[in-house]
Amino acid sequence: MKQLILASASPRRKELLTQVGIFADVVPSEVEEKITKTLPAEVVEELSRQKCLDVAGRMAEDCMVLGADTVVAAEGRILGKPGTLKRAEEMLQRLQGRTHQVYTGVTLAEVKAGRIVRAETFSSCTSVTVCPMTDEEIAEYARSGEPLDKAGAYGIQGVFAKFVEKIEGDYNNVVGLPVAAVYQRLRGWPS
């Protein structure tokens, strides 16, 4: 396989790729993200494509570029990164005791001689059911700092795991990258 460039500074995405034997160099996208879609699957596909094509357009050597974006959606509403304790608590209140969806959009692009010769975009959806949480549990988790920089105000691979009743779909998608789907697509591309 050609050199893979990850158009994301997310340490979780790099770890997921490494975990399955895919090694990538990181070149974060610098594109100003523009959302023109409203459905969560379309939003993450659009954002992953923007990130991927931004980085792929700057590559001079032959390589593959992977861009990704993840959102959490509750009742059709996208929940971004909360940034503040108050917003984190509000988001967690909305998720507790219910099922929500996590969408990750992925775009792969092949670069040859400084030109993008092929690109493919897809998305993956995983349903997550969160146990009922008390106000005290929500406040304590928010104060841990873990949810502040995560879509939907939680990280499934961290302390929040004790509140996850079940998932339907790809666990790695919730962490930030559906690595099995990525691997299956990459192995189908010529090297």
CA dist., res. 69 & res. 104, Å (int): 5
Which element (helix H / strand E) includes 141?
Answer: helix 135-143
Tokens describing residue 139:
């406040």
CA dist., res. 136 & res. 74, Å (int): 22
Which element (helix H / strand E) includes 73?
Answer: strand 63-74
Catalytically annotated residue among 69, 135, 149, 170: 69
Residue with tokens 């940034």: 83
Per the annotation, the verdict on 69 as an active-site residue is yes
Tokens describing residue 75:
């009742």
Q: For residues 128 and 167, is the Cβ–Cβ distance under 8 A? A: yes
CA dist., res. 176 & res. 51, Å (int): 15
Which of 70, 33, 68 has its CA nearest to residue 52? 68
Q: Which residues are catalytic?
A: 69
